[in-house]
Amino acid sequence: MTKYLIHGGKPLHGTIEISGAKNAAVAIIPAALLVDGKCRIENVPQISDVTLILQILQDLGADVRAVNRTTVEIDCSHIRNKPVPYELARKIRASYYLVGALLGRFGRAQVPPPGGCNLGGRPIDQHIKGFIAMGAEVEVHSGLIDARMPGGRLSGGQVYLDMVSVGATMNIMLAAALADGLTIIENAAKEPHIVDLANFLNSMGANIMGAGTDVIKVRGVKSLRGGSYSIIPDQIEAGTYMAAVAAAGGEVLIQNVIPKHLDSITAKLLEMGVDVEELDDAVLVRRTGPISRANVKTMPYPGFPTDMQPQIAACLCLARGTSVLTEGVWESRYRYVDEFRRMGAKIQVDGKVAVIEGVEQLTGAPVHACDLRAGAAMIVAGLAARGDTEIGGIYHIERGYENIVEKLSSVGADIQILYQPDDETQSQAG
């Protein structure tokens, strides 16, 4: 089983370059299914979730060509409509975007229910509600979500989401791009990757208005044409490195970011006594003094992101005083707490609330990454801890972080990959 070994306690100094956003890429790549002609997509992160979604497209007959390390060309002109293979779909949560994209293109989608980080129940009822509002019939049978539109082309519909859902908002946008008439999504999510998907589709000829607000209007068009598009930088990857500097200390310039997307993270770190200076496309993060306690509640954008909850928890474990962390998006996102306790953290969890009593020092320990962001948080904790931290389950981390070992080593972290023969590659996450 391959692991990361971190010898902690070294402050970080230097520059880190942020890659393209995972959660934008895993929606924009399936969106290429809706396009007639070649899509050139730039700033694609090299992570295993992207590899998987590209494999799914190839299995459906897409022509996928890597132009360089971060650019792919996808041509879906000769795609076949067939069920998405279970073996691929189960590994990645974002395979649910295939439902919206295939339904939009062919009027029929057969996709196994998605895998996903185990964050508690991860229903997709709001996605389905949207497809039904556009005239589709949706059944789950034989291990497949089977969505079909009698007559082929969806009709515009109106859907009010019962809760703010990133996935439902994007999936309904995908299905609506080629529908007949106007689709209105109310109580839509506003995350940066929602705007990115809308910008991608609009640059290929779609007519989507209001992305980034809570009402999105999609006027269906007859077809989309090929073109070129560059994915936005990853808000959560940037936030993770900001948390790493906060926990380990030092001064790092985090480049290729959109500072506005980081506002909630920056504000919280400032409150915790960490210096964050916003530049045009970078943030300079510096911590020399102690970390102050803070309360954090995760919420949909522009609130503090749930995908930064474990990483900020790692910082709060080292703060002076007691902090209260409230998870406002997922039912169960504290599975990492037992691992943190092995490193000396003092955390009590009651439902959605974690009370963290700061300690002077964490100590390295063997730990296991139970999901993507929990794994990232164990790296943050390990960088700050005294002694060696060995992290197992790193395939979770590699789903979402490009070259994390190289990036951290380049700013002075003592982190290495321990290759072990009996490799573990069976991710169930997505």
**Catalytic site residues?**
117
Q: In angstroms, what CA-CA distances link 277 with 218, 242, 262, 287, 413?
A: 37, 11, 11, 12, 22
Exactly one of 125, 277, 281, 423 binds ligand UD1 (CB under 6 A); which one?
125
Between 125 and 277, CB nearer to ligand UD1: 125
Touching ligand UD1, residues 315-344 (CB under 6 A): 329-330
Between 229 and 330, CB nearer to ligand UD1: 330
Exactly one of 98, 168, 314, 337 binds ligand UD1 (CB under 6 A); which one?
168
Interface mask toward ligand UD1 for 16-35; x: CB under 6 A: -------x--x---------
Task: Give the residue ranges of DSSP H helices in 360-418.
Answer: 372-384, 395-398, 404-409
Number of chain positions touching ligand UD1 (CB under 6 A): 21
- Nearest approach, Cβ of residue 142 and ligand UD1 (Å): 21
- Nearest approach, Cβ of residue 122 and ligand UD1 (Å): 5
Distance of CA 123 to the CA centre of its chain: 17
> Does residue 166 belong to the site contacting ligand UD1 (CB under 6 A)?
yes
Looking at beta carbons, which residue is closest to ligand UD1?
167
Specify the stretch interacting with ligand UD1 by CB under 6 A; choose among 59-67, 120-128, 264-272, 360-368.
120-128
Long-range residue pairs from 390-393, CB within 8 A, at least 24 positions apart, any chain: 390/3, 390/4, 390/5, 390/6, 390/364, 390/365, 390/366, 390/418, 391/3, 391/4, 391/5, 391/6, 391/367, 392/1, 392/3, 392/366, 392/367, 392/368, 392/424, 393/368, 393/369, 393/424
Residue 142: other Cβ atoms inside 10 A: 9
> Does residue 56 belong to the site contacting ligand UD1 (CB under 6 A)?
no
3-class DSSP state of 417: strand
> Does residue 121 belong to the site contacting ligand UD1 (CB under 6 A)?
yes
> Does residue 127 belong to the site contacting ligand UD1 (CB under 6 A)?
yes
Return the ∠ at Cα 324 (arms to 322 and 329), rounded to 5°: 160
Specify the stretch interacting with ligand UD1 by CB under 6 A; choose among 80-88, 136-144, 158-166, 206-214.
158-166
> Does residue 235 belong to the site contacting ligand UD1 (CB under 6 A)?
no
Specify the stretch interacting with ligand UD1 by CB under 6 A; choose among 80-88, 119-127, 134-142, 197-205.
119-127
In sequence order, the 6+-apart residues with CB closer than 8 A to the CB of 18 are 233, 234, 237, 238, 241, 254, 255, 256, 257
β strands within 43-107, DSSP E: 63-68, 71-75
Exactly one of 84, 94, 175, 194 binds ligand UD1 (CB under 6 A); which one?
94
Interface mask toward ligand UD1 for 256-295; x: CB under 6 A: ----------------------------------------
Which residue from 77, 140, 148, 56 is spatially nearest to 106, judged by alpha carbons? 148
> Does residue 167 belong to the site contacting ligand UD1 (CB under 6 A)?
yes
What are the tokens at 105? 């293109």
Between 328 and 387, CB nearer to ligand UD1: 328
> Does residue 297 belong to the site contacting ligand UD1 (CB under 6 A)?
no
The secondary structure of 105-121, three-state, reads HHCEEEECCCCCCCCCC
- Site residues (CB under 6 A) for ligand UD1? 23, 26, 93-94, 121-127, 163, 165-168, 189, 306-307, 329-330
